[in-house]
Structure 1
Amino acid sequence: MRIHNLLYFTEHHRFYIFRDFSLSSIDSKMLVQIYQPMVGAFAIAMYQQLYHYINDGRTGYSKLEPLRKLLLGSGLEMNEQSRKYLMDQMSKLEAVGLLQTSRLAIADSTEVVYEFELARPLSPAEFFSTVHLAMLLRDKVGKYAVIELRESLASSEPDELAHAQLEKENISVPFYDLFKLNVQSFDSELEQALMEVAPARASAKLQSAEAIITFGELILRFPRNSGNRSSVERLRLQPDQLEELNYVAYKYHLSVADICRLLDEDGVFNELGKLQIDELQQRAAQMYRQDKKRDEQKERLLAHTQIFAGESAQAEPSEEEYEVDEQYFLQVPQQLATYCDIQQYNMLMRNEPYTHFIKRFFPGAVPNWLDQQLGQIDLNYKLPEPVINILIHYVIGSNDNNRITKTFIDAVASNMLMKRIDTFEKAVVYVREQARLELAKELKKDSVPQTNSARAGGARGSRSGASRKPIIPIVSDSQAVQKVSEDELEELRRLARKLDGKS
């Protein structure tokens, strides 16, 4: 628990428990034999105490209780040392993954409530495959004790099968080969009722997401006679690929039917049945552009008939949000100055897909050439989403019309790619460095003296054919021309004959 002031954690503060599981016999054995040597008996006893705040056979939330009840139930006194000891024990449970603590502030009140969310103990296979937990247990009980504990928690296979070369064939019957569902009579009232009685935590998660495609929805709408049916069924055991599939659906505004149509195409799965995310994104981007073009045509048609009514509602992304440090904040562009503050703008730029972020700079539709250019940068250049959003900020947010060209956008993206700009922080540093270079260039241009400009003009003139040497007059043009008289002319002729040897 990261609480620096003990006055924020007193016996008067209230708390509640949340858990969505029940302990089995193997879970109890893991707590006593595996987790207790690592965190101590008092921490495990506190875990058991928190677990029983919710009645057996139920999951969900407990009642709001004061921390005084937890202190008294643990045999601790009402003082600062007891609260500090309780925090230390809870920190141990948090470190090994059995507890997660959150602090909630109630609106229109100064009261703070603590949430203790319990987690199920790991199974023996999961625990011993987690390296840091296995190493901690080894440090506590020793190497040979760890080996013995693992053998005691699992039964080995028979000796006849241990070293035999077996060919394994899956002959299990799939669900839809045995059961038939009436898809036509889908009960919407039942779905709504289940949503209403679900825990608030689950319903809030569903409402905060734009596109959450569960495996049940996917397999319900996927064709049974498709060649990719077996690969789609394996997604049930691959939650990571299912999350990537959901992100692609959210990014390109695809429905469950669209995703099923894409998964039914050839080349989406490889020979081993693994989903090819890059290929799926390529085809999803093509479908997204085609749907966008059809929507634009539909909007123009409806606008002419005065039926069209635009809606600009956007849902927040379902992915985990990443915080942005103040040292990496970028200024809000002039176009969005009245839309959000600097913290909201940087959070949007850090967490939103570029297909959503680019729309905020345009009152209507995004130009097709710009959408295609950004799609090429995403799919071909493989720049991360936050870096593309920084590029949008640098090109469009600067309010410089000379930058909004295909050549400039491609040049900036290529420069980012060559400089290995692959994180939000690196992109911010890159943009700031470019701004400093541009400012230095402008200052240098303004500080050039006029003499240099004149010399530069003379140099340009010499290239066009003019002489670079100054024109120096040999005879002054200001001297007056004097007229020679007849007597002087005769005297000159006489001197000339004398010089020629004639008398």
Structure 2
Amino acid sequence: MKVTNLLQLTEHHRYVVSRRFGLSPLDSRLLWTAYQPMIGGTAVALYTTLYSSLASDAVGDCDAGTLGQLFLACGLPPNERGRKQLVDETAKLEAVGLLQSFRRMDGDEVAAYEFRLQPPLRPDQFFGVHHLWLLLQEKLGPNGAEAVRRSFAADGGAMTRPAEHETLEDISAPFYEVFRMTVGAVSAEEPPEPVEPSAALAGGEFGRDGFRGDELLRRFPRSHAHRRAVERLVADPARLAELNYHAGRFELTLKQTVSLLDEDGMFAANGEWAADRFQARAAEVYRGSNEQAMRRERTTHKQAAAREGEASALAAERDVSAPYWLEVPEQFQGQCDVRQYNAMLANSPYTRVLKMFFQPSAVPTAVEEAFLTMKVNYQLPDEVLNVMIHYIRANDLDWKRNYLDAIAGNVAGKRIRSFENAVTYFRKAEQSRSGAGAAGRNGGDAGNAAAGAAPQRAPGARRGRPPGTAKPVIPVAKSSDSPEATEEDIMRMMEMAKRLTNG
């Protein structure tokens, strides 16, 4: 709580407590074993006192009371020392995210104080917040903090984890399979207003208006080295808007944003925020998150394909009209006709077609990964990938990863999702390649024709003059026999030059 004038925090001022949650036994245990070593027993006692202002089986706002009642409940003297202690203890709760304090002003006078309680973090969340974990290690030591963390983790043994040969199947029944809603049960009245979620949980993701300053400050304790710099940052609306712009553009969570602000070099010695460095690091985090998500998608796709195997055939095959038929490559001549070949491209999975084109060799790993990225991350249909494979093989193009990614990027960007659209696109691409090649050949033929107009030499003949021709006569400058210029001639020429210069 930030109070500069302690006369605005007397026992006569009123306060209310707002709570939108209830404490479970796990929350209470975490409060006393993890939070209490960091903020002290007095702060936790203040938290439980504020919590008990409402019944344990209710949520909402309590009746207004005076701070004098809070002083007596916490054993604080109603004097300057007690007010300072109340400010200090509430600040500890605010620093670890358990409390938000607000002051209602009526002109220059304080009308009331509002204390909004926040629930303790879940154990997995608490021990994943780096500054809380570091503070707990500082208070208890590394071994003590690790012992507290392990006390919240329960390992059920080998039966809780599936073996390597086992698969995990979700057999839970959804709502619509168990319950049936009748028309008469639907009321025309508006549903009751839902209870607002806790700000501590809602602040994990980037909202419509970005992260608030108090959400960022709650992650930086007052003893933190960057606390002052972050306070200056969130106090400047322009800087906070710029921070939220970068966080929204690179899809950063609140935890990622706080982690980046906590890095070395993110603030200068004078507390100035290094926005360019933050933007660069946010871009790296964004790219890393995207790559991890793409790898997870590809791994999931591989696992699903391995479970399904070859048994997942298409229910109904589609036919391809004659204008969109592709010619049968030379390696498949005699094995199928043009109709069968195009039906195979339109209905077979791309993995099977890729193996057919590479037989008897195995498909290179780089090519497999490239097409897996097109299928899973770019969401390109199998029929489009099959047309792409035919186009690359028929035109003898490269199978390099960069080249395949470039083709797939164009196909995905043009939103090609059918066999016919893919055939049209690749035919146009082939025509443009043929036109460029013909232009190059025409230019080369013209150069060859111009070179052919020159006289031809017999094979084995030496370079030089044709036989029987004489060496050309080259005129040579000779010295003149005229007399040299005298001094008078030189003086006369100099005077003439002066007259010409003076005009």
TM-score normalized by the length of structure 1: 0.39
